[in-house]
Amino acid sequence: MNGADVDTGAGTGGTGVAVTADGHGRGASPGRGPGGGRHGAGGRGRLLAGLRRRLVRRRIRIRRTRGRRLRRALVVLLTLLANLVGAAVVAYHLTKIPEPHPETAMQSTVFVDDHGDYLGRRGPVDRQEVPLSQVPRYVQEAVIAAENRSFRTDTGISPKAIARAAWATVSGGDRQGGSTITQQYVKNALLSPEQTLSRKAREALISIKLDRTRSKDEILQGYLNTVYFGRGAAGIQSAARNYFGVDAKDLTVSQGAALASVINIPSYYEKAGSDPKVTAKLVDRWEWVLDAMADSGAITSAQRAGARFPAFRFYPPGDTDGQRQYLIDAAASEAADRLGITEDQLARGGYTVRTTFDLTAQDATAELAADGTDKKAGEKSAEMTAEEKAAEAKAGGKKPAAVKTGGDVRVHTAVVALVPGDGAVRVLYGGADYASQPFNDARDGAVEAGTALEPFSGMKLLAPLTGLTRTAAPTPLRLTSAYATAAAHGVYATPYTVAKITRAGRTLYEAHPRTRTAMKPADAGMITKLLYSQSDALPATQTGAAGLRTLWRTAYDERLTLTVALFAEHPAKGKKAALPAPLPYTAGSRSLSVSEGVWSKIVGTAEGHDPAAEPNPGLPTGQTKPILATR
């Protein structure tokens, strides 16, 4: 074989014998030699080669189909987006801007006195609408700085805020704010406050539509008239009154910024002014709002530097009953009659009723009338004047010392002050506290006249005073009107309590005195001279009584007619009705104190000319027509 290796029997599937050069043979072990069997190195190589080939083919296939797959994905995405846009467009066109909630349309009616000072309100919601023109521009800008600085330029929504709120709803996180002013208005006035995705989506659609169909000023006006400021106040007008005691149009820069700062957490910030911690936190936010206003040019640097945190009215407020409800009752009844509506419609209508009352004089009357009310009725006064003793003795036909009182006796005081020749009622004190006695003694109470009407005896009285002298128990208001007629030279003026009614800046009613001649001018002059000669002082005064059960005191000149009526009773107990009772000995001094105190509050001290010496007593020198005292 020439030393060459000879391979014999090496067929497929054979074992084969290897013959070496020296002629010896050696069998090959299966699976051990290089390439011997499927688990050898050759088998692994072929496996790896196969894997590589498959990967290569897959990469090639991916490269070849990548564009097709991307195109398919893009088509699906665009189709989805088109469907979403289409659905949004359809939803937008199908969405209607709803009417405001009934409660947000409700308003209260506010009553103010003759000087414009706040008297009180009637209505289910403390809210009054005002046009945006009555809200200073810097107050508008303060709210924008505090709540939505992009308001003037945005589309009505804040995508970031919507996304944040949606994520919080889905994930169960805390509620998120940051809505635009438009969204807040939609949520507060047009939709429910529920936190759901569907409600939030509808809010966004309505906000966009509102922004496209309404002006920014219209939206801001709606927002300012409905947003809650705390202290029960909905809207800027009520908030201005509840926090600072002014109308919205009179808010200062500092006050406007403070109210804008309150909107963020009204239930917390409403205590500012009475809670130091709350006040300090609100001051920080107030500073932040002012800084933003200065940066935007809404206020000047001088206004920013001069701003001082405003003083808030104390909160919570005190009792609102007491005297003011008597006045509101009278004015509400009259205002509803003048407008031809019910008192309930008046209360919900958002009117401002300017009354004829002088709140300062009314409060002074309440203080003066309250003096001594806690004393026992039978307590004897240690300092009765000679005038009081004479008047009481003459009225009762007895000496004061012979009169005895005892038991539970309640003394009633009624006070009426009105302008002669005009009829404007300045004071109407009908009881110590409306909460315990809603009945108004001054307007509706029948008080035994006794000698109070004696100056009119024998005189011819025309309507509406006809039959006055035969009236056993006139109301204090009617008796005061009679003496006011004498003060106005025989001209009777119908008493009134409502001077003006406005709504949203429009005047709906304005009072004009209704007068007529009710007695001869000469008779009126005679009464004035008689009373002046009896009192020997200004103003002319008439004191009358019915035994010791009632005491009247009326004083007048051309400026004012004032009546104080006192009467006493044993209060009703169970089925036992109230019974008349004698007045205490202090009644005379009390009547004089109230009369002089109220008079001085309204017209000052009694100084001036002698009305008895005038050609036409009861009128100012040279005046021949009744004065008109309505502001």
Asked if residue 226 lies in contact with residue 104, where contact means CB atoms within 8 angstroms, the answer is yes
Report pLDDT for 397.
39
Contacts 24+ apart (CB under 8 A), 388-392: 388/588, 388/589, 388/592, 389/588, 391/543, 391/545, 391/551, 391/588, 392/545, 392/548, 392/551, 392/585, 392/587, 392/588
Number of Cβ within 10 Å of residue 412's Cβ equals 21
Q: How far apart are CA 243 and CA 227, in angstroms?
A: 15
Strands (E), 402-505: 410-418, 425-429, 491-493, 498-503
From 130, 479, 509, select the one nearest 331 (Cα to Cα). Answer: 509
Report pLDDT for 527.
95
Report the C-alpha dihedral over residues 206, 212, 218, 222, rounded to 10 degrees.
10
From 139, 469, 337, 338, select the one nearest 478 (Cα to Cα). Answer: 469
Amino acid residing at 302:
A
Q: How far apart are CA 554 and CA 561, in angstroms?
A: 7
Report pLDDT for 497.
98
From 363, 340, 351, 616, select the one nearest 486 (Cα to Cα). Answer: 616
Asked if residue 594 lies in contact with residue 587, where contact means CB atoms within 8 angstroms, the answer is no
Q: How far apart are CA 334 and CA 477, in angstroms?
A: 15
Could you give the angle at the alpha carbon of 247 between the alpha carbons of 283 and 499, nearest 5°?
160
Could you give the angle at the alpha carbon of 303 between the alpha carbons of 301 and 307, nearest 5°?
120
Report pLDDT for 86.
65
The tokens of 151 are what? 């308001």
Amino acid residing at 458:
G
Could you give the angle at the alpha carbon of 449 between the alpha carbons of 445 and 452, nearest 5°?
125
* Beta partners for residue 580, in sequence order: 569
Report pLDDT for 95.
66
Taking the whole predicted model, whether its pTM rises above 0.75 is answered as no
Q: How far apart are CA 29 and CA 25, in angstroms?
A: 13
SS3 assignment, position 413: strand
- Using the Cα atoms of residue 38, residue 44, residue 45 and residue 50 in order, give the sign of their dihedral: positive
Amino acid residing at 340:
G
The residues, ordered by sequence, that sit 6+ positions from 451 with a Cβ below 8 Å of its Cβ are 395, 544, 545, 546
User: Over the stretch 149-195, which tens digit does the pLDDT of each residue have?
Assistant: 999 999 888 777 666 666 665 665 544 455 899 988 888 877 655 55
Q: How far apart are CA 119 and CA 424, in angstroms?
A: 17
Give the chain's residues under pLDDT 70.
Answer: 1-41, 83-95, 102-103, 161-178, 191-199, 316-321, 371-407, 537, 605-631
Report pLDDT for 46.
81
The residues, ordered by sequence, that sit 6+ positions from 536 with a Cβ below 8 Å of its Cβ are none
Report the C-alpha dihedral over residues 363, 366, 371, 374, rounded to 10 degrees.
-130
- Report the residue count for the chain: 631
